[in-house]
Structures are given as C-alpha cells and as structure tokens.
C-alpha cells in the first residue's frame, strides 16, 4: 500500500517533538479521518531554523508530517509558505488516493504555524 519513502518516514519520522520556545505553533484537525497535527517552528532572521511536529493519526499523516518538516527546515518564511500539499505527497513518492488528505493536513499545519508566528511579531 505504501512505498519505501512513506514507510521510512513513518517508521523513522524526522523532527518529532515540541519546541519549548517556539515562535509559532500550528494546529490542524482533519475531521474527515481524525488526524491531528501540531507543527512547531523556530524562526531566526526570517529562516525556519527548527521545525518539529506531533501527530496523532495514521501512518500517512505521520509520514507527511515528517516530510513537511524536512521540506521546511532551513527555508525562509516565504519559501515555506510555497510548500503545497501536492509537494508533500510528491516528496513522499505519492500516497494512495484514500490517504491524500493526510498529506494536505501537514502542509496546512505548517502554514498555520507561520501565520501564528506572524501574529506574534
């Protein structure tokens, strides 16, 4: 059902956890399947220097959360806002049709964290 990239990010997710002094926190709850993703960001000089996540959900949601942190870390805020749901799925090598909503939730949580950061400025 899942390819090797998805399985790798599910079994060995990158950047799991919280950032105690996060500059922004984004939370998304996918009511359709119950996935809950929280993204924490640390911003210095307009660069995402750290990105972490906590996810309650299926394997695809965990893999997508892991991948979105990898894609966003080291990017400027503008570059990170360019990360689209399709980019996460593409970077994972694709997801089964019934799991595409899971990758959408991860990018939305990242964008929510950036919005939260901008409100705190």
Can you tell me whether residue 40 is helix, strand or coil?
strand
Question: Tell me, what's the pLDDT at 95?
Answer: 82
pTM of the model: 0.93
- Judged against a pLDDT cut of 90, whether residue 101 lies above it is answered with no
Crossing angle between the packed helical segments 100-120 and 59-72, to the nearest 10 degrees: 40
Q: Domains along the chain?
A: 4-120 (3.90.1010.10)
Helices (H) and strands (E) in the chain, counts: 5, 3
- Look at residue 39 and give its three-state secondary structure: strand
Residue 34 has pLDDT above 90, yes or no: no
Q: Dihedral, CA atoms, 57, 61, 66, 68, nearest 10 degrees?
A: -130
pLDDT band at 69 (very low <50, low <70, confident <90, very high): very high
58: confidence class by pLDDT, cuts 50, 70, 90: confident
Percent of the chain scoring above 90 in pLDDT = 75
Q: What percent of the chain has pLDDT over 70?
A: 97
The per-residue pLDDT for 103 is 61
> According to the model, what pLDDT value does residue 56 have?
93
């Amino acid at each position: 059902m899942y390819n090797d990239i998805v399985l790798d990010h599910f079994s060995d997710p990158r950047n799991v956890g919280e950032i105690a002094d996060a500059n922004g926190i984004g939370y998304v709850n996918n009511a359709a399947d119950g996935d809950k993703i929280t993204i924490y960001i640390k911003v210095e000089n307009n660069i995402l220097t750290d990105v972490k996540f906590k996810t309650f959900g299926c394997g695809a949601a965990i893999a997508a959360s892991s991948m979105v942190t990898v894609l966003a870390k080291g990017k400027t805020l503008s570059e990170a806002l360019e990360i689209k749901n399709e980019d996460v799925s593409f970077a994972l090598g694709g997801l089964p049709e019934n799991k595409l909503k899971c990758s959408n939730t991860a990018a939305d949580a990242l964008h929510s964290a950036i919005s939260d950061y901008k409100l705190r400025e």
